Structure 1
Amino acid sequence: MRRVEVEPLWDVVEEHLDEAEFLWGVWRHSLVAPDYTLDEVAEGPEERLFAHLEGLAVGGPVVAERLLLPALASDEPARVSAAALALLQGPRREEALAAIVEVLRARPQQRAPLVRALACVDPAMTGPRLRELLADYDEAVMAAAAEVLALHHAPLGDALGLLLASDDAATRAMALRAVADEPDLGRFVRAVTAGLQELGPSVLDAAIDAGVRMGLAPAWARARERMREVDGGAAMLLLALGGETDDIAAIVAALGDRKRRVAALWALGFHGTPEVVDAALEWLEDPVAGPLAGEVFSAVTGVDLAAAHMDLPREDDEALEHRPEDDLPRADPMAVLQWWTRHRERFVDGRRYVAGAAHSPAALARGLRFGAMRRRPGYLLELTLALPPASRPRVLLAAPTALQLRALAAMAPVE
């Protein structure tokens, strides 16, 4: 008996795509938000997003042909990512990958949203095809495949040398960040050292990051120069984690620079000593830096400002771009100062703390699993710097929570 094909309810299917496009942005924001944890992301934005993606995937080839494949060429990045992920979740993954590669060839400007979608798929399913693409004649395609593999901490082998020599700054920066996952780091010391002399900030920051992970002294020296620049926040964070006395003093001094104050507060919160709380609290009443100063206090003490009724009502936000720090609570300066005055003696000068607990790899691992999404990149970075290569977490913080939880469960126990 011949099977009868049922025409999809196109208004319903199109609504799934529209909702998936919207929720993709909501989900991506939740991954870096100060008011979400990993479990809350899974039970909230992610569950809603994947319900709509499933509604698209079950439509099969007819929905893919009429709706999803054309959406890969959309001018809206969130729509591109949502459509690509819906295709990759369908039963014809190889065909989906082939279609995505063709869009990458024809429209290199689609690389970023397509890479974000590819990174959301279990690398065991896409890895073999992506590895084949490392030998592709089109550098944009090769770089996209390499970026996805590197995001999942997979070594790139011989392709990495080609990418490090690219004329494209974004490709070189991506390749430098991938160096630390290679088994033979000695092969790339020269490339990283050359990157430390770059003038472009994206390549320079990537080279500093790679060099610090490799333990290269020139990388630390370059970070000290870079942190004095207005956009040197990434270097400032590395130095805060390194914890050298002179570096911490320089970061505290940066609080006096309006243009570097927010980056300095962010970095000091990860250093975590009571002295940095003392320095940060001076800025509680600052309209821009105040929420960041409150975050330093919470990061060190573990006090939840909202739960402890130590916050103020939010002010209306008229900014054109919504940033993660815009969701930080506004600390009540008087309540915070009174709490700190009563409890300051509990915190030993010179000793570091993570959410009220003594600083340790185990405390950082707890923060990575249960802490605010906004702070998890800092915990992951410090664990990466502190642990030997075999024990380092291999977690992609932009991946769906199921992939993140699996990577966290595979971590070696830390104490």
Structure 2
Amino acid sequence: MKVLTDILEEHLEEADFLFHQRENALSDRVYDLNGLAELEERLLAHLDGLVIGGKEAWALLEPKLVGEEAGEVFAAAFVALASGDPARIDLVQKTFAEAEGPVLDGIRHALRHTSFLEIEKIARPHLNSDKGAVRAAAIDVMSFRRVSLESKLLQAALTAKDPLVVAAAATAVGRLRAADLKYELDAALESDAPPVRLEAIRAGLLLKREQALDRCRKRVAERREEAGEAIFLLGLSGHTEDGSLLVKTLGEAALARNAIPSLGLLGRAAAMEPLIQCAADPKLARLAGEAIRTLTGVDLEKEKLVTPPEAKAKTEDEEDELEADPDEGLPVPDREKLEGWWRKNASRFDPKGRYRKGRPYGAPSLIDILRTGALPERHPAALELAMIDPSRPVLETRSFAIRQRKEMAGLK
């Protein structure tokens, strides 16, 4: 019996670890979709082990459903749903109704990713919950899984008092392309809550609302609380005239790290000189090099545009004295070499054109990124692809790889 308990505990420990590793992988340049799939195969194998463990496994998991570790809560909820046991499924629903913190987070993730077909029966009763966080989580689960939500329900959520609910509803409007709620969404653009304004902008861009683009520009120009994320969305929108606004933010330490990748996503040749200048700053050099790769497709190491080893070591020593480098693993570009490369290659890029990885910007280049790109660059590509064509569903790049691959099979 102890041997079985040890095996089940190991399954739970590994599932918890892999849950967090998967979450971290979504923002890790080392991983692509294949790497994500491999992580998930390992995670699902341990979850399957817990399902097979039956009553003994559930005795271990049931207390974890209200525990303090989101990964363990996820595992408990996921296994309960996979078991098909009505009593366990009912317990998940009842726990969800009162959940908060890591319990709510873990159950929300389980509901997002489970293959349990009757998920709507669990989430729908909470769409009008008195608890704002639970109501927001239920809206998120339904829209993430692309389950239709009634306009009246979303309309009520968009005018709720709790910012969590309004932000979740705005996200759902974008995910579900609920264009009939465009005016309610416009009102959310003026919310007092920054997260609501940001989600309303994102959803508005998906619905091609000019008001959303105007507010996005305004949030950046006024340096509002959500300016950093708004800068990112402005880059995705790809309008030439926004380049100067983005360049102005490069001189502000609080916004430079947002502006640099945004200029890469903007994809305009005019962004190259400011990005090359950023390569001279040890704190921003790697990020600038990555933005230049995003725009031009240049392989800095293959083209020998990186700093010599001794200079790189000096740069890393300077970074160690300051803080951990968030761009660790990226090559350190040499500004002078970049300038020389750009002088030779600038003629390849039409000043009026837009580019992604050196290719003309459009659905083919974005689809290629979705198929072969690193996980962090897939998130904006999915959003952009949906912005180009409002008839396309938004690919959820945070969903399990098996779902993504099914949905990507029809991309062209």
CA distance in 1, matches of 2:85, 2:381: 34
For the residues of structure 1 that align with 2:54 and 2:234, how far apart are their CA atoms? 51
Q: Distance in 1 between matches of 2:60 and 2:143?
A: 30
Q: What residue in structure 2 maps to residue 368 of structure 1?
A: 370
Aligned to 1:282: 277
Q: Which deviates the most, 9-18 or 50-59?
A: 50-59
The residue type equivalent to 1:278 in the other structure is E
The one-letter amino acid paired with 2:60 is: L
1:107 to 1:149, Cα distance in 2 relative to 1, 3 A: closer
Counterpart code for 1:156: L
Select the structure that is richer in helix: 2
Most deviating of 124-133 and 54-63: 124-133
Is structure 2 residue 198 aligned with structure 1 residue 198? no
Aligned length: 401
- CA RMSD of superposed structures (Å): 2.9
Q: Is the 8 A contact 2:154 2:169 kept in 1?
A: yes
Aligned pair partner of 1:151 in 144, 149, 166: 144
Aligned residue in 1 for 2:159: 165
State the 1:266 CA deviation: 1.7
For 2:47 and 2:265, the matched residues in 1 are separated by 37
Change (3 A) 1:20 1:310: farther
Q: Does 1:106 align with 2:102?
A: no
| 3-state SS, counterpart of residue 119 of structure 1 | helix
| Distance (whole Å) between structure 2 residues aligned to residue 336 and residue 125 of structure 1 | 55
Tell me what 1:53 maps to.
Answer: 47
Q: Which runs of 5+ in 1 are unaligned?
A: 1-5
The structural deviation recorded for 1:204 is: 0.9
Question: Contact conserved, 2:112 with 2:144, CA < 8 A, in 1?
Answer: yes
Gaps of 5+ in 2: 307-311
Q: Is the aligned partner of 1:70 residue 2:63?
A: yes
Amino acid at match of 2:347: E
Show the counterpart of 1:215. 208
1:28-73 CA deviation, whole Å, 9 max, x = no partner? 1112222221112223x22322222222222113211x22121121
119-128 or 344-353: bigger deviation:
119-128
Match of 2:262 among 251, 257, 267: 267
How far residue 335 of structure 1 moved from its aligned partner, in angstroms, is 4.8
Contact 1:283 1:289 in 2 (8 A): yes
C-alpha contact (below 8 Å) 2:128/2:135 kept by paired residues: yes
- Using the alignment, how far apart are the partners of 2:241 and 2:160 within structure 1? 37
Match of 1:293 in 2: 288
Letter matched to residue 164 of structure 2: A
Q: CA deviation at 1:183?
A: 6.5
CA–CA distance in structure 1, aligned partners of residues 142 and 333 of structure 2:
41
Q: 1:42 aligns with which of 23, 37, 44?
A: 37
Does the 8 Å contact 2:240/2:268 carry over to 1?
Answer: no
Structure 2 vs 1, CA of residues 92 and 8 (structure 1 numbering), >3 Å: closer, same or farther?
farther
The answer to whether the Cα contact below 8 Å between 1:281 and 1:337 also exists between their aligned partners in 2 is yes
Between 1:204-213 and 1:321-330, the stretch displaced more is: 321-330
Secondary structure of 2:254's match? Answer: coil
Q: Verify the 8 A CA contact 1:104 1:140 in the aligned structure 2.
A: no
Read off the aligned partner of 1:231 and give its amino acid letter: E
- 2:380 alignment partner in structure 1: 378
> Taking every aligned residue pair, what percent have the same amino acid on both sides?
30
Which of 75, 78, 81 pairs up with 1:85? 78
SS of structure 2 residue aligned to 1:260: helix
- Could you tell me whether the CA contact under 8 Å between 1:81 and 1:116 is conserved in 2? yes
Amino acid at match of 1:348: D
Report the alpha carbon displacement of residue 93 of structure 1 after superposing the two structures with TM: 5.8
Match of 1:24 in 2: 19
Tell me the amino acid that sits aligned with residue 189 of structure 1.
K
AA paired with 2:84?
A: R
- 1: CA distance between counterparts of 2:401 and 2:292? 28
- Relative to structure 1, is the Cα distance of residues 15 and 344 closer, same or farther in structure 2, using a 3 angstrom cutoff? same
Where 1:383 maps in the other structure, the secondary structure is helix
Work out whether residues 155 and 183 of structure 1, in 8 Å CA contact, stay in contact via their aligned partners in 2: no
Q: Which amino acid aligns with 1:223?
A: C
* Aligned 8 A contact 1:81 1:117 in 2: yes
What is the Cα deviation at residue 162 of structure 1? 3.0
8 Å CA contact 2:185–2:204 kept in 1: the answer is yes
The 1:182–1:15 alpha-carbon spacing in structure 2 relative to 1, beyond 3 Å, is closer
For 1:279 and 1:83, locate their aligned partners in 2 and report how far apart those are by CA, in whole Å.
Answer: 50
TM-score under structure 1 length normalisation: 0.86
Q: Supply the distance in 1 between the matched residues of 2:316 and 2:361 (Cα, whole angstroms).
A: 34
Instruction: Name 2:401's counterpart in structure 1.
Output: 401
| 251 and 178 in structure 1: CA distance in 2 versus 1, 3 angstrom threshold | same
> Is the contact made by 2:238 and 2:265 (CA closer than 8 Å) also made in structure 1?
no
The Cα shift of 1:270 comes to 1.0
- After superposition, the C-alpha distances for 1:82-109 in whole angstroms (9 at most, x for unaligned) are 3323333x33265443222222223333
Q: Cα gap change, 1:336/1:117 in structure 2, threshold over 3 Å: closer, same or farther? A: farther
Q: Are 1:118 and 2:111 matched, yes or no?
A: yes
CA distance in 2, matches of 1:307, 1:384: 33
